[in-house]
Amino acid sequence: MSDSKGIFLKDATVNAADGDQRAFIRKALGGYYTNRDLQKARYRDWERARDAASMAKWSAVNDLANVLEKFVANFERNGGVVHWARDAAEARAIILKIAEDAKAKAIVKSKCMTSEEIHLNDALEKAGYGVVESDLGEFIQQLRGEAPYHFVFPCMHVKREAISELFTKHLGTAPTDSPEELTMIARRHLRQLYIDADIGITGANFLVAETGQISITENEGNARLTAALPRIHIALSGIEKVVNHLDDLSVLLPMLATAGAGQPMTCYNTLYSGPRKPGECDGPEQFHIVLLDNARTRLLADPEQRDALHCIRCGACLNVCPIFKNIGGLAYGTTYQGPIGSVITPHLRGLKQWNHLSGASSLCGACTDACPVRIDLHHHLLHNRRNAAKESPTLFDRVFHNGFNFVIKRPWLFATGGRLFRATLPLLQKLPLPYMSAWMKTRDLPKAPAKSFRDEWKNHENV
Amino acid sequence: MSDARTDIFARIREALKVKAPRPHLKAETSSPKTSVAAKPWLPDGGETIEASLQILSEQLAKLKAVLIRVPDHAAAARALAELATQKSWKKVAFHGHPMIQPLVAALPCEVWEADKSFDKQRLEGCDAGLTTCESIVAQLGSILVSSQSSGGRALSVLPHAHVVIAEVAQVVPDLGASLALAKSRHGESMPSMLSYITGPSRTGDIERILVLGAHGPKELFLILVG
Ligand code: SF4
């Protein structure tokens, strides 16, 4: 068993048994469901909008080399500097080099999951830079020393009392149980940090090939400040974020907001096309973009699951996933939690260590229904299971599948086996069988029917 | 060793040798949009200006942004002065624009043309930032500001309140129309920042409870002339 699987099983078991926490998560998501439905109802045809959104991403991802080339040419024409990183280590090295060349001291970041993916904060802190996360949820998680729980709602599992304690401990503020007051504490604390920072690091939600702009979506205004006040702006983005046309955003931006947070539009959707221009009074002197592969091309090479690269990271699939709601985001141990995380993590980090996530699904398909860009999420979990069984079948896979294959081809054996199985079923509850016992600890076996389906069918035919 | 760029492009080209099936579309759609054709499946933005203005005012109300409609620029100046008094603003930063200059003359407080002598510390101490905008999207209640129309990047987000002055003619039905307008207006030399502002800054990070004014303005006012 891989380490990640062991941790997953342990955490999942503990969390699923924590009724309090589960109720808290459900309550937190309650408002989301209401608002999402209200906003979706404003679409004159949500299904057609999903078609358009998925086509916009499909046409860019399936022509990635050309579209990226166009983006890069336009980005450079606008005065930005492009860097390429094959993997996490290269991306970290590039950013460290920019910081070193700029003789920077303080760095402010706005929410960027790609930076979590490459463990950027650790690297920057080790090199002696002060790094502060400015998104409220990320700021809280940074103080807690914990990874984000949900890639859109990073600290949705933390109760206000805990946040108040955290602020008292780290910022010396008086305790309060008002979310409003807590938000204001963070606001006051961070304001001066934006002003003093030398470098602002952001992610990117979309890269627009046609104009060479990057698009950043956020609610708080922290990304706006991060890209306005420091003298250097670095954006870190996966190569798959590119879209062909500026007009694609007229579909993608509202859908991202509605699917992800039940809003008509996220509060700030900002397009950046370079450093400060002549005649502009503020903005950074340098604008860099780091384009990251980090195994995305491996996912690209699988035509069956290539559409997982269409993901716009809205988080809708997490919000509707029964597994996510029961085991919580931290149990996954991945940068991207929930259904999309379970699909892509085995590609990004290795099927062998991460295939257990393919089983973290009830296959209800709620994720696939929720996805604004129509990624076939629950089937991809099945594809991963199949691929894992093909690549390195476990003993169970081999014994079970060969056995099944043998039996199913011989009707007499199938019938005898069935009879035997029905007769011995009550025993299974008691025997400590491998694979079965863990599953049965929390479940009761149903009673075996007296007759097999085939016997019943014979009767049915005789009537 | 070849460089990262060459390598990544080689990987992409290799990966794309096998074609992926086109997405399974539920509705009958045409190919992806390259034009700015209206998209009659997105939220409605109104077919007439009256309908658009109606949708806009509903959207802004839901977003907790304040819409102040006035008949002319003289009335806009009065409305702004009233607002400043009511909110007891002491310092207002503004973008030096012909539409704004006459308005600030009547303000009963300290005013400062922020884009003339930019100072981030001073801007942080301002109660309100006063800007124009590029266009207004009725469909979503979004206001498009740019580094050009709004005195740079910080003026519309750093002060505690943001006031936008615009004319009714700047209202467009939907996001597609607004993006197309920005493209035709600026062509190849886009302002370095274009930002759709949809309501005052907000967060739900603490227990998913809505709080306004996370890092950006707590209050957003749109003074619409005409
Ligand atoms: S897979 Fe779909 S639903 Fe899930 S985060 Fe990505 S875009 Fe959203």
The pLDDT value given to residue B26: 64
Query: Each residue of A161-192: pLDDT tens digit?
Result: 999 999 999 999 999 999 999 999 999 999 99
Q: Chain A contacts of B139, Cβ < 8 Å?
A: 254
- What lies within 8 Å, CB to CB, of A356 at 6+ separation is A2, A4, A5, A8, A9
- Residue A306 belongs to some domain of the structure: no
How do beta strands B128-131 and B91-94 pair?
A: parallel
| A217 in Cβ contact with A257 (< 8 Å) | yes
Between CA B193 and CA A284 the distance in angstroms is: 11
What string of pLDDT tens digits covers the 226 residues of chain B?
Answer: 579 999 999 999 999 999 888 877 765 444 444 444 679 999 999 999 999 999 999 999 999 999 999 999 999 999 999 999 999 999 999 999 999 999 998 899 999 999 988 899 999 999 999 999 999 999 999 999 999 999 999 999 999 999 999 999 999 999 999 999 999 999 989 999 999 999 999 999 999 999 999 999 999 999 999 9
My answer on whether A134 and A72 are in the same domain is yes
Contact at CB, A270 and B142, closer than 8 angstroms? no
Query: Each residue of A66-109: pLDDT tens digit?
Result: 999 999 999 999 999 999 999 999 999 999 999 999 999 999 99
Give the closest residue to A120 by CA, choosing from A92, A97, A96, A139.
A92
Chain A contacts in chain B segment 67-96 (CB below 8 A): none
Query: Each residue of A22-53: pLDDT tens digit?
Result: 999 999 999 999 999 999 999 999 999 999 99
In the listed set A373, A393, A413, which residue is the last one of a domain according to the structure?
A: A393
My answer on whether A439 and A449 are in the same domain is yes
On whether the pTM is more than 0.90, the answer is yes
The pLDDT value given to residue A304: 94
Q: Does B118 touch chain A (CB under 8 A)?
A: yes
- Residue A417 belongs to some domain of the structure: yes
Higher pLDDT, A437 or A186: A186
| A223 in Cβ contact with A194 (< 8 Å) | no
Count of residues in chain B: 226
| A259 in Cβ contact with A375 (< 8 Å) | no
- Residue A192 belongs to some domain of the structure: yes
My answer on whether A324 and A368 are in the same domain is yes
Contact at CB, A248 and B33, closer than 8 angstroms? yes
Between CA B102 and CA A367 the distance in angstroms is: 54
Phi-psi category of residue A352: left, alpha or beta, with phi > 0 → left and psi -120 to 50 → alpha: alpha
My answer on whether A137 and A173 are in the same domain is yes
| Residue nearest atom 8 of ligand 1, based on CA coordinates | A314
In the listed set A259, A294, A329, which residue is the last one of a domain according to the structure?
A: A294
- The verdict on ipTM greater than 0.90 is yes
Between CA A192 and CA A221 the distance in angstroms is: 15
Q: Chain B contacts of A51, Cβ < 8 Å?
A: 23, 25-27, 29
| Pair of tokens at residue A217 | 């979506």
- Residue A308 belongs to some domain of the structure: no
Which regions of chain B does DSSP assign to beta strands (E)? Answer: 66-70, 91-94, 110-113, 128-131, 135-137, 142-146, 161-167, 171-172, 193-197, 202-203, 211-212, 219-225
My answer on whether A54 and A119 are in the same domain is yes
Which regions of A73-175 does DSSP assign to beta strands (E)? Answer: 81-85, 106-109, 130-133
Give the closest residue to A45 by CA, choosing from B180, B23, B48, B26.
B26
The pLDDT value given to residue B143: 98
What lines the ligand 1 site, CB under 6 Å?
A 311-317, 340, 370-373, 375, 377
Which regions of B25-184 does DSSP assign to beta strands (E)? Answer: 66-70, 91-94, 110-113, 128-131, 135-137, 142-146, 161-167, 171-172
My answer on whether A289 and A350 are in the same domain is no
Q: Chain B contacts of A55, Cβ < 8 Å?
A: 23, 25, 29, 31-32
- Residue A240 belongs to some domain of the structure: yes
The pLDDT value given to residue A446: 79
b/e map of A275-285 (b: 16 or more CB within 10 Å)?
bbbeebbbbbe
Percent of chain A at pLDDT exceeding 70: 98
My answer on whether A187 and A328 are in the same domain is no
The pLDDT value given to residue A452: 86
Between CA B216 and CA B214 the distance in angstroms is: 6
My answer on whether A136 and A197 are in the same domain is yes
Q: Chain A contacts of B9, Cβ < 8 Å?
A: 65, 68-69
Q: Residue A452: give the domain boundaries.
A: 395-459
Of A204-218, A238-252, A275-289, A441-455, which range is least confident? A441-455
Averaged pLDDT for residues A269-293:
96
- Residue A311 belongs to some domain of the structure: no
Give the closest residue to A213 by CA, choosing from B183, B6, B215, B172.
B183
Averaged pLDDT for residues A299-317:
96
| Residue nearest atom 3 of ligand 1, based on CA coordinates | A371
My answer on whether A176 and A195 are in the same domain is yes
The SS3 call for residue B133 is coil
My answer on whether A242 and A162 are in the same domain is yes
Best mutation site among A312, A335, A367, A368 for ligand 1 pocket (most ligand atoms within 8 Å of CB) = A312
- Residue A309 belongs to some domain of the structure: no
| A232 in Cβ contact with A200 (< 8 Å) | yes
Query: Each residue of A45-62: pLDDT tens digit?
Result: 999 999 999 999 999 999
**pLDDT at residue A459 is higher than 90:** no
Domain harbouring A67, CATH code: 3.40.50.10420
Distance (Å) of CA A447 to CA A38, A416, A426, A451: 45, 19, 8, 12
CA-atom Rg of chain B in angstroms: 21
Ordered by where they begin, the domains of chain B are 1-41 (no CATH), 49-225 (3.40.50.10420)
In the listed set A340, A365, A393, which residue is the last one of a domain according to the structure?
A: A393
The closest-lying atom of ligand 1 relative to the alpha carbon of residue A370 is 3
What average pLDDT is seen over chain A? 93
- What lies within 8 Å, CB to CB, of A342 at 6+ separation is A332, A334, A357, A358, A360, A361, A381, A384
- Residue A305 belongs to some domain of the structure: no
Count of residues in chain A: 463
Query: Each residue of A332-361: pLDDT tens digit?
Result: 999 999 999 999 999 999 888 898 999 899
The SS3 call for residue A307 is helix
My answer on whether A286 and A420 are in the same domain is no
My answer on whether A267 and A328 are in the same domain is no
Best mutation site among A58, A306, A311 for ligand 1 pocket (most ligand atoms within 8 Å of CB) = A311
Total structural domains within chain A? 3
Contact at CB, B215 and A221, closer than 8 angstroms? yes
pLDDT band of A324, cuts 50, 70, 90: very high
Residue of A nearest to B114 (CA): A281
B5, B190, B198: residue with CB nearest A273: B190
